C-alpha cells in the first residue's frame, strides 16, 4: 500500500466537496479492506493487522560496555515532536560525555525523512521518540526502517504491552475551559455535549488532519470506547444509542458536524479559550504542555475535571532505533537514558506518565487533573495495527462530516 500521510489536502466546498469526499471515503474503505493484512491470533497486533515485528531485547545487557562503545561512535542525533528533546539531549551529554543533538520534527516529516534515508542507506537520524503509534507499527517497523530495542536489565520492569513498540512516556490531550468565564466549573459535563447544537462553533481543537493522535483517538473510541460512550449517551439523552450504530463514529460525526473551530496548532486552540482578555465562551482540546502558558502568558485554563466518560486522552511516545544508523550503540544508549528518571524527567515538566512504571511520574499536574489513568482514555497498544489500517477511512469520515 502507499504510505499514508497527515498532510492536509486542499478543501473543497459545497456540493463538489461532499461528492469528492464521499467518493474518497468509499475508496478508502475498500482500500483498507483490501490492503490491511489479516490478523494473527496471539500476535497482539489488533484487528486488521498482521503480526508485529518483535522487539530486540538485549539479554546480558552491560551499561558500562554500551557507554564505552557509544563514546567511540562520536555522537548521536534523535528526532522528536517536542522541543523538549533539546533538554533530553543536553542531559544525555552531561550524563555520558557523548555529543547528542535533539531535533524537533513533526511525526509525518520524521517518517518521511527516516524512510528516505533508509532507502538511500544514509541514516542521519539515529533514533526517534515517536508519537504516532499506528504509522510506527504499520510503516516504520513493518518496513524495517527502525527497530525496537530494550535493555534486558529493564525488560522485566516494563509491562509487555508497553514493549512492542517501546513506550517511554505518555502525555495527554485534555478538554479545557476558562475558569474566569465559567467560575462554577466546566460547562461541558459529558463528551456528547461537544456534539450538541448548544456548543456549535464553540469547540476548538487542532485540525485532526494535521495531528495524528487525534485521528488515533477517534479510532480508539470506535474500537474500544463503545460501552462507555453508550453509557454517556444514555446519561445525557435518557435513551440508548441505536444498537447497530457505532458509538465512536456517531460521536465523531456529531463533533465534525458541529462547526468546530479548527486550528493549525495547540497554541491557537489554547488561545481561543484561555488567552488574557478572552471573552468567548468556548472549550478546547489541548496538550498538557499548553499549561505552561498559564504562567508564561497569563492564560486562564483548567481541565474539565468531571467530564464523562473522559476528560481527554493519553497519547504515548515510543522509542525506535534506525536500522541503518552509523551510531547504533549511542542510539541504544539514548533509548536507555529515556527509561531512567534523569532522562524522562527532561520531558515531564508539564506532567506525564513514564513508560517504565518504576519511575516517578511528573510532579506537575494540570489544574483539574488528578488521575492520568482514571480521567483520560488510555490508548490500547494492541489496537495500533487496526488504527493504522483504519487511518485513511477515519480521516475521510471526518472530512465527509465536517461542517
374: enclosing H helix or E strand: helix 372-375
The whole-angstrom separation of Cα 298 and Cα 320 is 37
pLDDT at 201: 98
Position 51 scores a pLDDT of 66
Asked whether the beta carbons of 134 and 387 are under 8 A apart, the reply is yes
| Spans of all domains in the chain | 56-170+316-380
Contact at 8 Å (CB) between 212 and 134? yes
Instruction: Give CA–CA dist 319/317, Å, rounded.
Output: 7
Question: How many CB atoms sit inside 10 A of residue 315's CB?
Answer: 24
Q: pLDDT (tens digit, 0 to 9) for every residue of the chain, 403 residues total?
A: 333 333 333 333 433 343 343 334 334 333 333 333 322 222 333 434 456 789 999 999 999 999 999 999 999 999 999 999 999 999 999 999 999 999 999 999 999 999 999 999 999 999 999 999 999 999 999 999 999 999 999 999 999 999 999 999 999 999 999 999 999 999 999 999 999 999 999 999 999 999 999 999 999 999 999 999 999 999 999 999 998 899 999 999 999 999 999 999 999 999 999 999 999 999 999 999 999 999 999 999 999 999 999 999 999 999 999 999 999 999 999 999 999 999 999 999 999 999 999 999 988 999 999 999 999 999 999 999 999 999 999 999 999 999 9
Q: Exposure string (b/e) for 171-183, b if CB count within 10 Å is 16 or more? A: bbbbbbbbbeebe
Closest residue by Cα to residue 85 from 140, 150, 137, 130: 130
pLDDT in the model for residue 95: 98
Task: Give the model's pLDDT for residue 202.
Answer: 98
State which H helix or E strand residue 391 sits in: helix 391-401
Cell 522528536 appears where?
80
Superfamily of 56-170+316-380 according to CATH: Periplasmic binding protein-like II (3.40.190.10)
Amino acid at each position: 500500500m502507499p504510505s499514508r500521510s497527515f498532510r492536509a489536502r486542499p478543501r473543497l466546498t459545497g456540493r463538489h466537496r461532499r461528492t469528492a469526499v464521499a467518493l474518497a471515503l468509499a475508496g478508502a474503505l475498500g482500500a483498507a479492506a483490501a490492503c490491511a493484512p489479516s490478523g494473527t491470533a496471539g500476535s497482539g497486533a489488533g484487528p486488521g493487522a498482521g503480526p508485529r515485528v518483535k522487539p530486540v531485547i538485549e539479554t546480558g545487557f552491560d551499561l558500562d560496555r554500551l557507554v564505552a562503545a557509544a563514546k567511540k561512535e562520536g555522537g548521536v542525533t534523535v528526532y522528536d515532536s517536542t522541543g523538549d528533546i533539546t533538554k533530553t539531549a543536553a542531559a544525555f551529554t552531561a550524563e555520558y560525555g557523548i555529543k547528542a543533538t535533539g531535533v524537533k520534527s513533526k511525526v509525518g516529516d520524521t517518517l518521511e525523512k527516516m524512510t528516505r534515508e533508509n532507502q538511500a542507506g544514509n541514516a542521519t537520524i539515529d533514533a526517534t521518540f515517536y508519537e504516532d503509534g499506528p504509522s510506527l507499527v504499520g510503516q516504520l517497523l513493518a518496513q524495517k526502517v527502525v527497530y525496537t530495542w530494550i535493555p534486558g536489565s529493564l525488560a522485566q520492569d516494563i509491562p509487555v504491552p508497553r514493549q512492542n513498540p517501546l513506550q517511554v512516556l505518555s502525555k495527554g490531550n485534555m478538554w479545557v475551559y476558562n475558569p474566569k468565564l465559567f467560575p462554577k466549573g466546566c460547562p461541558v459535563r459529558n463528551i456528547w455535549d461537544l456534539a450538541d447544537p448548544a456548543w456549535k462553533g464553540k469547540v476548538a481543537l487542532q485540525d485532526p488532519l494535521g495531528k495524528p493522535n487525534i485521528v488515533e483517538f477517534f479510532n480508539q473510541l470506535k474500537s474500544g470506547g463503545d460501552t462507555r460512550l453508550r453509557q454517556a449517551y444514555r446519561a445525557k439523552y435518557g435513551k440508548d444509542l441505536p444498537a447497530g450504530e457505532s458509538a465512536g463514529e456517531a460521536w465523531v460525526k456529531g463533533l465534525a458536524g458541529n462547526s468546530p473551530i479548527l486550528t493549525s496548532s495547540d497554541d491557537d486552540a489554547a488561545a481561543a479559550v484561555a488567552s488574557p482578555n478572552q471573552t468567548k465562551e468556548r472549550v478546547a482540546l489541548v496538550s498538557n504542555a499548553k499549561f505552561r502558558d498559564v504562567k508564561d502568558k497569563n492564560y486562564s485554563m483548567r481541565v474539565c475535571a468531571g467530564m464523562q466518560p473522559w476528560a481527554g486522552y493519553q497519547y504515548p511516545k515510543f522509542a525506535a532505533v534506525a536500522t541503518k544508523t552509523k551510531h547504533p550503540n549511542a542510539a541504544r544508549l539514548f533509548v536507555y537514558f529515556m527509561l531512567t528518571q534523569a532522562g524522562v524527567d527532561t520531558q515531564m515538566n508539564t506532567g506525564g506518565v513514564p513508560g517504565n512504571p518504576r519511575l516517578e511520574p511528573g510532579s506537575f499536574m494540570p489544574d483539574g487533573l488528578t488521575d492520568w489513568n482514571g480521567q483520560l482514555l488510555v490508548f490500547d497498544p494492541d489496537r495500533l495495527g487496526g488504527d493504522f489500517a483504519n487511518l485513511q477511512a477515519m480521516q475521510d469520515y471526518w472530512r465527509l462530516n465536517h461542517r
